[in-house]
Chains A and B, each alone.
Chain A
């Protein structure tokens, strides 16, 4: 039986496993559904990671690489291409993957580090057609940076979260024209540094207190209608203007990925790495959305230590 099973091999999962190892646990397994460790960092090829933790400005893959190397100095096991399907309050992990088919793995402690996902168009309620050419910013990031194809040429970005800002620059560098970044709130959603180096540097206009009020196009996106909004975030009639574009990227926020604990009736308090189930911990973007990966690492190391303390104290009680 494992002393610790970590679900998710992003920066949170890696640091959590390492923290537990450092504090004395020896039978640790990381379950990751992707083909490789590193999580979202693999597609975040820009710099801006590690300033706090490593005192260096690293790219996402470099930051992940540091932890993957650190893990190689331990005997922490990893199961790639493996999906955790279910967990129970009594710390059983149901997983399916190449390595062991479908298995029910009991563990003395579990750390949830599944990250987050992006809010999709359905939840935004924009009228108009639903042609091809609408992507979340993170999906576009994966297409360009990992799979190597461009989702479009004339782009409007809805929302000004960090992912959207980073993609405005990325698509510009790859030869696309980013015509507008449209934000419903009176201030940008992402970090100021990203507004500067991703929009200002490339003269991309940012429309604050604006939103897309209609999407036009039959097969492919042809136009986005951009309108001003009032203090109540309602579109102001007569302010709309049409932008000719073939692509709309959505950068409208991230939601923690917590289906697994929710289905098990495990309660989560976004301020606390402990869950309502003893011995089950949660950290990283699955707990709450973090802007800075360094904070994810610090929190995850703490979760690893907490899991180790839990397992080691149970041992004494046995």
Chain B
């Protein structure tokens, strides 16, 4: 049995997930799925910024387009170190196409 706090919504339900993935304590279906997945393969959306020149600010925000495995977070962050964009850049622009073989890209979260 694993105790997991659901992070899907601000309610923060306390979940108890058993070895076979059965979940109790959730208040909705999304929490049930989250509990099962979090026990075997925790994933997160990661956000950061990269350098940009010729824009109103010197950083532009980015995110992993979807969830990546938690253990890849620091490797994913390192990929951004040497990136430098030049304005104008649209929202959703691909900054890095493939994060560590996951096929998931880093994309911008605003235009600038």
Residues of chain A touching chain B, judged by Cβ–Cβ distance below 8 Å, are: 35-36, 42, 45-47, 51, 57, 59, 61-62, 64-65, 144-148, 173-174, 191-193, 195-197, 201, 291-292
* Complex-state Cα separation, A292 to B10, whole angstroms: 8
Instruction: Confirm or deny: B58 has a beta carbon within 8 angstroms of a beta carbon on chain A.
Output: yes
A35 touches B9 (CB 8 A): no
Instruction: Confirm or deny: B94 has a beta carbon within 8 angstroms of a beta carbon on chain A.
Output: no
B59 touches A148 (CB 8 A): yes
B12 touches A45 (CB 8 A): no
| A193 partner, pick from B5, B56, B61, beta carbons under 8 A | B5
Interface size counted on chain B using CB atoms at 8 A: 28
Across the interface, name the chain B residue whose C-beta is closest to A198. B7
| B109 partner, pick from A45, A51, A148, A196, beta carbons under 8 A | A45
* Complex-state Cα separation, A57 to B45, whole angstroms: 10
- With A192-B5, A193-B7 known as contacts, the answer to whether A62 contacts B47 (CB < 8 A) is no
- With A192-B12, A193-B12, A292-B10 known as contacts, the answer to whether A45 contacts B5 (CB < 8 A) is no
Minimum Cβ distance to chain B for residue A123 (Å): 27
Instruction: Confirm or deny: B99 has a beta carbon within 8 angstroms of a beta carbon on chain A.
Output: no
B63 touches A47 (CB 8 A): yes
Residues of chain B touching chain A, judged by Cβ–Cβ distance below 8 Å, are: 5-10, 12, 44-49, 51, 56-59, 61, 63, 70, 73-74, 77, 91, 109-111
B57 cross-chain contacts in A, Cβ below 8 A: 146-148
B6 cross-chain contacts in A, Cβ below 8 A: 193
A61 touches B110 (CB 8 A): yes
A173 cross-chain contacts in B, Cβ below 8 A: 46, 48, 73-74, 77
Q: Chain A binding site: helix, strand, loop or mixed by DSSP? A: helix
| B110 partner, pick from A51, A62, A147, A192, beta carbons under 8 A | A62
Across the interface, name the chain A residue whose C-beta is closest to B110. A61
| B5 partner, pick from A59, A61, A144, A196, beta carbons under 8 A | A196
B46 cross-chain contacts in A, Cβ below 8 A: 173
* Complex-state Cα separation, A174 to B9, whole angstroms: 25
Minimum Cβ distance to chain B for residue A226 (Å): 25
- With A45-B47, A47-B47 known as contacts, the answer to whether A191 contacts B59 (CB < 8 A) is no
A174 cross-chain contacts in B, Cβ below 8 A: 48, 77
* Complex-state Cα separation, A262 to B7, whole angstroms: 39
Minimum Cβ distance to chain A for residue B59 (Å): 4
Minimum Cβ distance to chain B for residue A210 (Å): 21
Minimum Cβ distance to chain B for residue A60 (Å): 8
Minimum Cβ distance to chain B for residue A4 (Å): 27
| B48 partner, pick from A45, A62, A65, beta carbons under 8 A | A45
A147 cross-chain contacts in B, Cβ below 8 A: 57-59
B47 touches A59 (CB 8 A): yes
Most buried by A among B47, B70, B73, B74: B47
- With A59-B63, A193-B7, A193-B12 known as contacts, the answer to whether A145 contacts B49 (CB < 8 A) is yes
The 27 listed contacts between A and B (C-beta, < 8 Å) are A36-B56, A45-B47, A45-B63, A51-B9, A51-B10, A57-B45, A59-B47, A59-B61, A59-B63, A61-B91, A61-B109, A65-B91, A144-B49, A145-B59, A147-B59, A148-B58, A173-B48, A191-B10, A191-B12, A193-B5, A193-B6, A193-B7, A193-B8, A193-B10, A196-B7, A201-B44, A292-B10
